[in-house]
Amino acid sequence: MSEIWKHARVLRGLYRRLAAALGESGCPRIATFRLGVGWLDETGAAAAHRRSRPRRLLHGLPGGRGGERTALFKCIVGAIADPTRATVLGLFDQTDTLVAAVTFLPEWITPDKHYEHYIHLTFPTE
């Protein structure tokens, strides 16, 4: 099992969802993650191009816990059929809004390994 630690950037999509939650919608929660290849659209709406919207086999349900100014999510990748290259991991809320993401140099995810990606988020105090 390979443990991979990454620090994700909180995107504007999360702040938009939090602002909406103050009014009438429910509080956002991280519901799924997606691992893929491509550029990142930092507006928080979606990944920049279709290739960066990962295939179904590279998504899952993260486990997470939050603190006062930080949150940590564990994203497990293990059931893939073929070696796959990845450059971005995105965290999505229950409305499928991209709320946090981390980009990295290309990494190969291979069928013979079980990967645990630990994604750390830090929230600004002001």
Measured CA to CA, the distance from residue 85 to residue 118 in angstroms comes to 18
pLDDT at 50: 40
Element spanning 13, H or E? helix 12-23
Sign, CA dihedral 49-10-85-39, equals positive
pLDDT band at 79 (very low <50, low <70, confident <90, very high): low
Residue 102 has pLDDT above 50, yes or no: yes
> Where residue 40 falls among pLDDT bands split at 50, 70, 90?
low
User: How much is the average pLDDT of 38-61?
Assistant: 51
Q: Over range 17-43, report the average pLDDT.
A: 75
Mean pLDDT score, 26-41? 78
In whole numbers, what is the pLDDT of the chain averaged over residues? 74
Query: Residue 44 pLDDT > 50, yes or no?
Result: no
Per-residue model confidence (pLDDT) at position 55? 42
CA distance 43 to 20: 16
State the Cα angle at 120 between 117 and 121, rounded to 5°. 140
Q: Which domain holds residue 13?
A: 2-122
What's the total number of domains in the chain? 1
Residue 78 identity: G
